[in-house]
Amino acid sequence: MLDGFEILTTSGIVLWRRHYTPISSNLIDSLVRDVFIEEKQKPGGGENGAPSYKKDRYTLRWTSAKDVGLVFVAVYQSLLHLSWIESLLTAVKGLFTKAYGQELKTPHTLKVNTAQWDPTFDALVNRLDTGSTRRQSDTIDSEGPTELTPPSSSAGDDADEPPPVPAPLFRKPAIPTKRDDVVGDSTSTDATPIPTPDTSRPATPGHAASHLLTAKGGPGKASRRSRKAQTFNASAPVSSGDESSAGRNLKGGAKTAAKGKRRWDVDGMAIEGDDDGVLDYSASATPGPENAERELDVADVNTSQMGSRTGKGQFVLKDLDDEVDAILASSSKPQQQSNATDDSTGSGLLASASSRLTSLFRNVVGGKTLTKADLQLPLQQMQTHLLSKNVAPEAATRLCQAVETDLLDQKTANYTSIESTIRDSMTKALTRMLTPTSSLDLLREVTSVTSGQGALARPYVISIVGVNGVGKSTNLSKIAFFLLQNHFRVLVVAGDTFRSGAVEQLRVHVRNLSALSQREGVGKVELFEKGYGKDAATVARDAVAFATNKGTQAPGGSGQMLYDVVLIDTAGRRHNDSRLMSSLTKFGQLANPDKVFMVGEALVGTDSVAQARNFAKEFVDTKGKLRNNGVGMDGFIISKCDTVGDMVGTLVSMVHATGIPVVFLGVGQHYGDLRGLNVGWAVDKLMK
């Protein structure tokens, strides 16, 4: 059952919403953030064109209308599978844009009066909701022909009366749908008064008894299984005439005449025998005959009753039928239409020549509406251009598709050609991809961690990973140099216990750095190494413990932190060697670094995508969740940028593969050759 539906603009204002159960606004916020802005999910997934997004226990399906800048979101519980949501979304999109499209297109408007939308939406839901998904009954099949409309959909009108008692349905509450609050919100009306809540379990034994069977005679306490078998085999239509028993699967056939109330004792066993007292807790507000009458009403087909109760609803429903059919039909076969139009653009030499001339003219002057055919060739050229800049084909394709969806059916501005429009759009797409959500300020983070109050102060742990020969040790020493210049005490850990000469290499670096730092009187750097052949994870853990120095008690004071920053080097490993990659997981868990940086060289080609992905998915914490909000690593360091000149496409490939931002660029082989990423510079180089 649908939990909520919202219509919002791309600028974030909610134009209309309907919540059947309370939904936190955090759900749709995270949908917007993860899918639309950060593009963590591959677009175009999902059946029938309505992609889905899962968060907590909810699934959100959405569709967007780009021309008016609207997003339509439907929220429901992940356990359910509602097949009619796509058609609902399509229909709502069509109808809403038709009704309010003009208002929305006028500039500088904020307020759109959507009061008339409520009954339209209700009618749509009733029309499309097939009812088969309303109760996920597992063993017992649904109740025959009757389809109950959920009380919430007619909330607007019968808010004053309590909704019809849904007691018959809850023979086995499979999904405890909490429809406690029915809130029909719209931006311009006040909230309707909340109807009486109907809980998933009937509160009174009196209610429960209405669908339960008579007590079977028999002494003592028979086993529960036999008792259950008895209850299923026999069935008795209850005197109040609810329809559930009519549709019940009658395994036995015996109908007993007695329709007594079932009573339960504390052990969960049914109490046989006549009742000693009426344990009916139901309030006198629901006396018998009215109850029966209402349930009889419920047994009828409800749509006509809803129609009679709200004449307007019926009226709207009838009008809607044609429109909705048209919208649903047109959405399901777009291809034939486009083919037809293609055929109809005449043939013949003169016609084609004149059309080419006009299109050329329009290309120069601007004001041309862009079609797929128009965009195809220039986009192909753009993709080739990107590939020539060493961008991986996957990333180039994704960028071109983003530009295409952005520009389709848009008009070019005055005096801009298609090529320049595409260039603009591509620049925007690249900027958006390369800009991090929050920029890394390494010095701030180190100071805030190392200067925590008293016992909270601990060293800041950074580890560097990557494939063989990309420049991990070199870039690590560049970072060490940078930190030393800022007066931090650095511990360099030789976590590469495999490659011959790795420890010596780091020893040379540390010697150079300490000479430099002593000359300038800043910082302190040391090497922590345990030789070759040891497990890198334990070396890292020991190093962090050594730097934290909790154990040693200096006389008259607690153990002071010996080092501010711990830089851990690791062995280079092929990303497709699963044994080596799995040892990274253990390393991540034991060393527990604050930052994990992967070094990728700018010279690598398409392999960068696979490298980035394989490394990112290894950093899983003990609960199985990827660290750093589900991306795995904290940043990329792209090394050897000075050797590639303009072809810095590896930046784009790696960011595209994982969504992890690039934090540093290595631009040389000296200690000072480390830069931060300037997005404008990178995009300029790529588009040059």
CB of 603 to other proteins, least distance (A): 17
Long-range contacts of 103-110 (CB under 8 A, 24+ apart): 104/9, 104/68, 104/69, 104/70, 105/67, 105/68, 110/13
Q: Which of 228, 312, 432, 511 contacts other proteins by CB under 8 A?
A: 432
- Which residue lies nearer to other proteins by CB, 35 or 212? 35
Side chain identity at 510, as an amino acid letter? V
- Of the candidates 6, 49, 1, the residue with the CA atom closest to the CA atom of residue 27: 6
53 forms beta bridges with 60
CB of 117 to other proteins, least distance (A): 15
CA atoms in the 13 A half-sphere facing the CB of 268: 5
CB of 427 to other proteins, least distance (A): 11
Q: Which of 161, 180, 275, 441 contacts other proteins by CB under 8 A?
A: 441
Number of residues that bind other proteins (CB under 8 A): 52
CB of 96 to other proteins, least distance (A): 17
- Which residue lies nearer to other proteins by CB, 584 or 674? 674
CB of 190 to other proteins, least distance (A): 11
- Which residue lies nearer to other proteins by CB, 70 or 212? 70
CB 69 within 8 A of CB 10: yes
- Which residue lies nearer to other proteins by CB, 344 or 438? 438
Q: Which of 7, 124, 566, 682 contacts other proteins by CB under 8 A?
A: 682
Element (H, E) at 396: helix 393-407
Q: Which of 72, 96, 664, 671 contacts other proteins by CB under 8 A?
A: 664
Q: From the CA atom positions of the chain, what is the Rg in Å?
A: 34
Q: Is 22 in the site for other proteins (CB under 8 A)?
A: no
Task: Taking each helix axis as running N to C, give the angle between helix 607-616 and helix 578-591, from 0 to 180 degrees, rounded to the nearest 10.
Answer: 50
- Which residue lies nearer to other proteins by CB, 108 or 623? 108
**Cβ-proximal residues to 214 (8 Å cutoff; 6+ apart), any chain:** 234, 236, 256, 258, 259, 260, 262
C-alpha to C-alpha distance for 306 and 660, rounded to whole angstroms: 53
Q: Is 665 in the site for other proteins (CB under 8 A)?
A: yes
Q: Is 629 in the site for other proteins (CB under 8 A)?
A: no
Cα of first residue to Cα of last residue in the chain, in angstroms, is 53
C-alpha to C-alpha distance for 235 and 214, rounded to whole angstroms: 8
SS3 214: coil
- Which residue lies nearer to other proteins by CB, 100 or 664? 664
C-alpha to C-alpha distance for 219 and 217, rounded to whole angstroms: 7
CB of 655 to other proteins, least distance (A): 11
CB of 88 to other proteins, least distance (A): 20
Q: Which of 133, 314, 435, 628 contacts other proteins by CB under 8 A?
A: 435
- Which residue lies nearer to other proteins by CB, 494 or 654? 654
Of 121-160, binders to other proteins (CB under 8 A) are none
Side chain identity at 20, as an amino acid letter? Y
Stretch that binds other proteins, among 151-159, 328-336, 435-443, 558-566 (CB under 8 A): 435-443
Q: Which of 351, 364, 377, 443 contacts other proteins by CB under 8 A?
A: 443
CB 556 within 8 A of CB 603: no
**What are the b/e assignments for 243-260, b being 16+ CB within 10 Å?**
bbbeebeeeeeeeeeeeb
- Which residue lies nearer to other proteins by CB, 356 or 432? 432
Sketch the per residue contact string, 95 through 114, with other proteins: x for CB under 8 A, - otherwise. Answer: ------------xxxxx---
CB of 126 to other proteins, least distance (A): 25
- Which residue lies nearer to other proteins by CB, 491 or 602? 602
7 forms beta bridges with 16, 72
Element (H, E) at 674: strand 674-676
The two tokens of residue 565 are 């920053």
C-alpha to C-alpha distance for 216 and 668, rounded to whole angstroms: 89
CB of 681 to other proteins, least distance (A): 3
Side chain identity at 466, as an amino acid letter? G
Stretch that binds other proteins, among 10-18, 156-164, 306-314, 537-545 (CB under 8 A): 10-18
CB of 454 to other proteins, least distance (A): 16
Residues that bind other proteins (CB under 8 A): 8-14, 17, 25, 28-29, 32-33, 36-38, 69, 107-111, 185, 187, 431-432, 435-439, 441-444, 447-448, 482, 485-486, 641, 664-665, 667, 674-678, 680-682
